[in-house]
Structure 1
Amino acid sequence: MFNKNTIFLGLLLFIPISLAAHFLEWGESIVFITAGIGIVPLAAYMGEATEEIAVVVGPNLGGLLNATFGNATELILAFVALKGGLITVVKATITGSIISNLLLVMGFSMFLGGLKYKEQIFQSGAARMNASIMNLAVIAILIPTAVEYTSSGIGESTLQKLSVTVAVVLILIYCLTLLFSMKTHSYLYDVGEADLADSEEAEDGEDAKEKVNLPFWIGILLVITIGVAVESELLVDSLEVATSELGLTALFTGVILLPIIGNAAEHATAVTVALKNKMDLSVSVAMGSSMQIALFVAPVLVIGGWIMGQPMDLDFNPFELVAVIVAVLIANSVSSDGESNWLEGSLLLATYTILGLAFFFHPMTQGL
């Protein structure tokens, strides 16, 4: 019988296919498609390896490890694109990841979970706190963009300095959120942690800590990281020609396609636990991933671009900014009461569909 692990194992075949397509010159579109599919199982196994290591190192260090590697796939992919000077694609990937997690992941979770259980409950206090943090993320990308559009003749270097300063503030807030969720107010997240523990107990039935081979999983994590870097290099190198051949813009590719590739494993996890009536954990995965993108991945990329000499800043395309604001507003509205049903999931999915269509037909083509 096919399950999630079997599917991911089968998708690993696309890694050698993408390498063969590159070296045998089968065409940039084939390289782009196969490399993108090849990243999906690597992201899944990176998450599994991180969770196994977290079991051994304990809840505090394990929580930090999960938070750090939670979006490692997107971070590696974005860094490779940044190194190649694809600033538009990097920015689109940041906004796309936020939109994808809030609308597509949480939407599917609420919709499918609601079809099975009618009404599902999750921690409203944690949801409201996550909503406040996402509001800060909107402010962080709104201000540099507003400065750019309300100033005459502001220099690129000045805008980047402002973005780097804002990035430092966001990383500080990210550290404070980790302290808040894992130490001072961890009780707000106890339900989600209990759900995760119950799932692990049901699957393993034994003391997981004694079974984990730490050196093995560390080695697996290193190999997977290298694999993600190689596949990301293939994906980015073929991006310009492939998107042109496929009739796609840089904006649509960055906002829609790349986030789906990078977040596929998290999508599957969130939907799976929602179908087990673990809505706390499902919402935590969706909103937590968006928060990590906004407070950690985006600032690291801004600082990394500054160090690498790439003009990476927080001045986003106005339409991307509108899409993020819309996603945050409806996600906050739907999750604020701590209850979900299939109709609320449908609203999130409908919003994502409308935004996806708008990005597909958006005429912006520059940036590659």
Structure 2
Amino acid sequence: MDKIDEKPQLATVQFHLEMDHMNGRPEHEFVDERLVSPVELPELCSDLNGSQHYTFSDPEQQSNTRSLKISFCRSIKVVLFTSKINILMPCGPLAVLINYLTHNQGWAFFLSLLGIIPLAERLGFSTEQLSLFTGPTVGGLLNATFGNATELIISIHALKGGMTRVVQQTLLGSILSNMLLVLGCAFFCGGIVFMKEDKVFDKAAAMVNSGLLLMAVMGLLFPAVLHYTHSELHYGKSELALSRFSSCIMLLAYASYLVFQLQKQNDSYVRVNEERGQNEGSKNDYNEEAPEISKWEALIWLAILTTGISVLSDYLVDAIQGASVSWHIPVSFISVILLPIVGNAAEHASAIMFAMKDKLDLSLGVAIGSSTQIAMFGIPFCVVVGWIMGQPMDLNFHLFETASLLITVIVVAFMLQEGTANYFKGLMLILCYLIVAASFFVHIDPSYVGD
């Protein structure tokens, strides 16, 4: 009886083999029916009658899952545990907890300020890692976009609350901090390391940035003069209209500068590669530094860190007034001095590190380039965003702030005109920043006199 029952099963196997051969399926994937025992035939027939789509084996699935877990853990280790400044990260959740439990705005402001520092530094790290995958052109755009993300996020949160003066003073303070404190520390530290000789940088690029900063001063100066001379055609409206028109012109000028700068970088990049190709063969060495995390991990961390900065910025802006009252510090000093130092923490560290490694052009690009971004992009962008939100954000930064910016740009332009740097120039810039900080400490903003 067993031999009689075996014939239909063998016929079924033969039928499926012929059908799979007609469909283009190789025969070697199946077991020869002569080697199959009668006990195994029902299982084989049920497999052949099933779906023809096969999945990975369990060992392969386990291997893929394990590799993803290893990559994820390595990414967390690189981003969260390799930088010593990340020890301040618990200050962010602690600020939120204190705000809900005690409503102490002084401590909430202080802890939010500390919590944003490591997030801003890691945001710069993630942007740098992502730029290693994109090449010089897109990398420059990424650095332009995320380089001052902290200040822009804080400014947008302040605009939502109608705190236009905080926005103006924060952006102004970011320019002053980058031009005097960050650049001064870079020159000073680099000059101490290389004390025997003056270091040389690209004077042409520095002069282009200085020209754009003077253009930004022009955009801020005319609305202020128009307001304080009472020479507006329509009082209260002409100043705002002029600010919005000038902001659009400044954004256009910055876009043109960005295209010009990226094109210049591409030309030099191609020229260097051609020279290397003639001497050493065609070898692309743009990404000399190996990325520590993958492209998608960098994008995910950018989203996470931007969200964290946005959340803490909301608490930070809400606690500014309370911190000013409890600490007996003017709001203008908090906005111009304290907030920009936090936002520029990553740029400050990068500029000093580059200067000590004899990469002064990179330090100059970080400090002066960031100031140019804020002056020609950040401030006009906030004016346009305020226009969309219905907030009367304008370019009238009042005479005291505008004069501070004008004098700072002139001083820095004189420092850069020789194309050399040393520790004495850095010390002078740092001392100039101390004078500016002391001036804002004793300055009372007329907007807050009523408060």
TM-score, with structure 1 as normaliser: 0.91
1:194 aligns with none
Aligned: 1:151 with 2:198: no
Distance 1:198 1:360 in 2: 49
2:31 aligns with none
Distance 1:80 1:161, change over 3 A: same
Please list every run of 5 or more consecutive structure 2 residues that lacks an aligned counterpart in the other structure. 1-80, 271-283
2:143 aligns with 66
Q: Shift of the alpha carbon at 1:150?
A: 2.1
Q: Shift of the alpha carbon at 1:57?
A: 2.1
Aligned: 1:175 with 2:255: yes
Give runs of aligned pairs for residues 1-368 of structure 1, distance below 5 A: 6-25=83-102, 27-118=104-195, 119-152=198-231, 154-184=234-264, 201=288, 204=289, 207-208=290-291, 212-364=293-445, 366-367=447-448
Distance 1:55 1:316 in 2: 38
Identity of aligned residues (%): 38
Residue identity matched to 1:346:
L
Residue identity matched to 2:98:
A
The one-character-per-residue Cα deviations of 1:311-353 (angstroms, maximum 9, x if unpaired) are 1000012111111011101111111111011111111111111
Q: Shift of the alpha carbon at 1:66?
A: 1.0
Distance 2:268 2:398 in 1: 36
Distance 1:110 1:187, change over 3 A: farther
Residue identity matched to 1:123:
D
| 1:144–1:163 contact (8 Å) kept in structure 2 | yes
The one-character-per-residue Cα deviations of 1:265-289 (angstroms, maximum 9, x if unpaired) are 1111101111111111001100000
Distance 1:92 1:245, change over 3 A: same
Distance 1:184 1:7 in 2: 36
| 1:305–1:311 contact (8 Å) kept in structure 2 | yes
Residue identity matched to 1:28:
Q
Residue identity matched to 1:149:
Y
Q: Shift of the alpha carbon at 1:212?
A: 4.2
Distance 1:96 1:199 in 2: 34
Residue identity matched to 1:345:
G
TM-score, with structure 2 as normaliser: 0.75
Residue identity matched to 1:19:
V
Residue identity matched to 1:237:
D
Structure with the higher helix share, 1 or 2 = 1
Please list every run of 5 or more consecutive structure 1 residues that lacks an aligned counterpart in the other structure. 191-196
Distance 1:139 1:186, change over 3 A: farther
- How many residue pairs align between the two structures? 354
Distance 1:143 1:185, change over 3 A: farther
Distance 1:33 1:365, change over 3 A: farther
Q: Shift of the alpha carbon at 1:6?
A: 3.2
Q: Shift of the alpha carbon at 1:24?
A: 1.4
Distance 1:129 1:104, change over 3 A: same
Distance 1:92 1:128, change over 3 A: same
